[in-house]
Chains A and B, each alone.
Chain A
Amino acid sequence: MPATVDLGISDLDVRTGDHICAFYRGAERDAMLVAFLAAGLRTGDKCICVLDAARPESLLALLDDPQAQERVERRQLEFVDFADAHGAGGRFEPEKMVEFWEHNVHSALEGGEYRFFRAAGEMTWALRDMPGLDQLAAFESEVNRLMPRYPQVYLCVYDIERFSGEQILDVLKTHPKVLLGAMVFDNPYYVEPDEFLARRQ
């Protein structure tokens, strides 16, 4: 298991098990997601990207990889709509999303075909008018529990023009690392999952 992996953005390396939040405006979203996924595809990682507003075909076109379609066909690269990941309608349940990720990372690594798992999430689904979304930070905190268990790295991208200051503060509290501009900041004071969840309760 490598100690560090190429983030794919601004020549930055991150540690295995990092759960990173990033903020974007407008067209920065696709460029950020594509760079992150391309770095994983180059090293043979399993890559899954949960999308909300972004279009898979646009991201594939931006990948500029002649093998992109083939990678999709053999499922090295998967684009999953939020509704498929979580299940449509109803109430947001953090456990469902955690189960989705755990199932996928486990499946990808257990056969030995892949040695590393790379996940990206476009987080605008969290702005939907959906009961239970006040548990978003709890979900992010739960993801932190999952991170040390597998060789993996997660990138959650947030639209700075749509999330409120309070939501951003919660996001920052629950991510050990934040990508801002061309830098990755450690958050040494991030609230551990148990602590965050306990405080919430």
Chain B
Amino acid sequence: MNLTPTQLEGGNLELRTQLSNLQGLLVLAMLMTESGDEEQVLRLATSSVGGLARCRPEGVYLTDRGWRWTAGSFRWEPDRRAVEEQLPGLGSLGGAVEVPGRPCGWAYPLRSLAGGVGFLIVSAEEASSPAEQFLLRVMAQQAGMALANARLHAQERATAEELVKVNSTLGATVQALRRSMEIHERLTKVAMSGEGQEGIARAVHELTGHPVAVEDRHGNLRAWAGPDRPDPYPKHGTARSEELLRRVLASGRPIRDGGRLLAVAQPRGDVLGVLVLIDPDGTAGEHELVALEHGATVLAMELARLRSLAETELRLRRDLVEDLLAGTDQESALARAQALGYDLERVHRVVVVEGQGRGDGGADRLFHAVRRAAGRTGAGSLLVSRTGTVVLLANQDLDWERLRGAVLHELGGGRVRIGVGGGCGRVGDFPRSYREAQTALRVQAGSHGTDRVTVFDELGVYRLLSRLENTAEVERFVRDWLGTLLDYDARKQSELVRTLSVYLERGGNYNATAQALVVHRSTLKYRLQRIRELSGHDLNDPDSRFNLQLATRAWATLRALRS
């Protein structure tokens, strides 16, 4: 285009129009390329056809997307198909096509650097001039370039958007990780610094801004951090508490219970406590849940540590009691007691407790009843379970009946008998005191009286008898006075010796004896008559009566010692 307006003065109007159109086409091409939008390119390209030639646009066919723009009869599928079938035969340069219902038709290729993109289909009432065809061909080519450009642009935009999304996701992940690390670091510090349950509650409160409670597995408050601590602290019934724990364990994550979020501290499958986030407005999100879960883990470690400490102390105490009862050396026992913070150098008594509460429970129930009763009455804290009894090392003399009453109370009723051994001034005295407590208990059992406390030191003649090294003389004495009755009882499965013992212990009182033996008065009279006949002793003679009572006590003592 080296021609100037001067050169064209008075010249060919057609040429001037063509040059003007070319200039317009150049601007149009720039506008299409700059638009970066496929729809815009197609709109500008198709709407400029009428301005460049005496033609009308019919449609735009894109190789990879089919018909993207249609007008006139091309809105009907058969017309489109008729033209579409001609396109593969045209090659990359395009050419004339038959457009249904129109005298002339052309397909101008939309081209890009990468090759053909598709075709612009136009039609006309008569054949276009070469100049018009040239303009349309150039315009179609520019539109093809602009389409390729728009696609690249869209691709870049999609990539950029994808990158923004990935960046945003990455940012959120990094943020979440950072928060998680903050939570982890804060709670690890609490765990390391030994701030206990209070410290854990405080840390979770500071991390979330919500009040936080630590409960034991029964719903009792153990620690609180944050404002508005309820007083008294509300507590669910046992069934509801257990149901909540089941739900938390089943979900494996914190669960909501009204205005509270609960997470369990559960080391090795054993629920030791519950961490509670107070959230009445339901505003807690993922960050708060993560803090609660981390907090529950640290709480689990703390509670497991406390339990392990308690179990270790309990085991050390039990071992010490066992060794003291079996006999151990003074130095070792005192050192171990000192390690436990226990003063073993006070005078102790061994106390043997035998009993049974109403209902189930067994040895464990009795053990814990005695432990709690001893704690309440100040009887001491060293105790151990032994063959159906609980052995307590009492560190002071006290009202033993009060201790028995306390055990009964802890058991919730039932039966409790207690034997108390003699005092232990030295470590070596514990085995003796233990034997004495056992003897006291057995003597009591042999006397068939009501449940009570039997103190060895108060056993009188029993105490003398039980301390004899050689019991052969005692046995001979028992045989001399009770031999015929013992033999009779053995043969007939009767209870004449027991009847005599109870009768003498109650000072010959018929009513008291019949009541203790749970027999009718006439039965008692019959038995006493048989005793008189078989033994030949006069029960009213003071000497006989003394010797018979001594013999029955000696018989009970021997039985206690033998068992």
A160 touches B27 (CB 8 A): no
CB neighbours (8 Å) of B23 from chain A are 172, 187-189
- Known contacts A168-B24, A169-B24: A23-B4 contact under CB 8 Å: no
CB neighbours (8 Å) of B40 from chain A are 160-161
A188 touches B35 (CB 8 A): no
Cross-interface CB contact of B31 among A23, A173, A188, A189, cutoff 8 Å? A23
Q: Is B330 engaged at the interface, CB distance under 8 Å to the other chain?
A: no
Q: Is A180 engaged at the interface, CB distance under 8 Å to the other chain?
A: yes
User: In the docked arrangement, what's the CA distance between A143 and B10, Å?
Assistant: 23
B44 touches A189 (CB 8 A): no
B31 touches A160 (CB 8 A): yes
User: In the docked arrangement, what's the CA distance between A35 and B13, Å?
Assistant: 38
Cross-interface CB contact of B51 among A165, A178, A190, A191, cutoff 8 Å? A165
A188 touches B52 (CB 8 A): no
Interface 1/0s, chain A 148-163, versus B by CB < 8 A? 0000000000001100
Q: Is B241 engaged at the interface, CB distance under 8 Å to the other chain?
A: no
- Known contacts A187-B20, A189-B20: A165-B28 contact under CB 8 Å: yes
B31 touches A169 (CB 8 A): no
Cross-interface CB contact of A191 among B20, B27, B46, cutoff 8 Å? B20
Interface 1/0s, chain A 79-115, versus B by CB < 8 A? 0000000000000000000000000000000000000
For window 22-49 of A, CB contacts with B under 8 Å fall at 23, 25
Most buried by B among A166, A170, A178, A190: A166
Q: B interface, by DSSP: helix, strand, loop or mixed?
A: helix
CB neighbours (8 Å) of A173 from chain B are 20, 24
Q: A interface, by DSSP: helix, strand, loop or mixed?
A: mixed
CB neighbours (8 Å) of B44 from chain A are 160, 164-165, 168
Q: Is B70 engaged at the interface, CB distance under 8 Å to the other chain?
A: no
B47 touches A165 (CB 8 A): yes
Report A5 CB to chain B, min CB distance, Å.
23
How many of chain A's residues have a CB under 8 angstroms from any CB in B? 23
Q: Is B21 engaged at the interface, CB distance under 8 Å to the other chain?
A: yes
- Known contacts A160-B35, A168-B27, A185-B27: A190-B20 contact under CB 8 Å: yes
CB neighbours (8 Å) of B19 from chain A are 189
Q: Is A2 engaged at the interface, CB distance under 8 Å to the other chain?
A: no
Report B69 CB to chain A, min CB distance, Å.
13
CB neighbours (8 Å) of A66 from chain B are none
For window 1-36 of B, CB contacts with A under 8 Å fall at 4-5, 8, 13, 16-17, 19-25, 27-28, 30-31, 34-35
Report B385 CB to chain A, min CB distance, Å.
88
Q: Is B48 engaged at the interface, CB distance under 8 Å to the other chain?
A: yes
B49 touches A165 (CB 8 A): yes
A172 touches B16 (CB 8 A): no
- Known contacts A161-B40, A188-B4, A188-B5: A168-B28 contact under CB 8 Å: yes
- Known contacts A172-B27, A173-B24: A165-B16 contact under CB 8 Å: no
The 9 closest A-B pairs by CB, nearest first: A165-B48, A164-B47, A166-B51, A169-B51, A165-B47, A189-B20, A172-B24, A189-B19, A169-B24
**Footprint of A on B, CB under 8 Å?**
4-5, 8, 13, 16-17, 19-25, 27-28, 30-31, 34-35, 40, 43-52
A selection of 5 A-B contacts at a CB cut-off of 8 Å is A164-B43, A165-B44, A169-B24, A169-B28, A189-B23
**Footprint of B on A, CB under 8 Å?**
23, 25, 160-161, 164-170, 172-173, 178, 180-181, 185, 187-191, 195
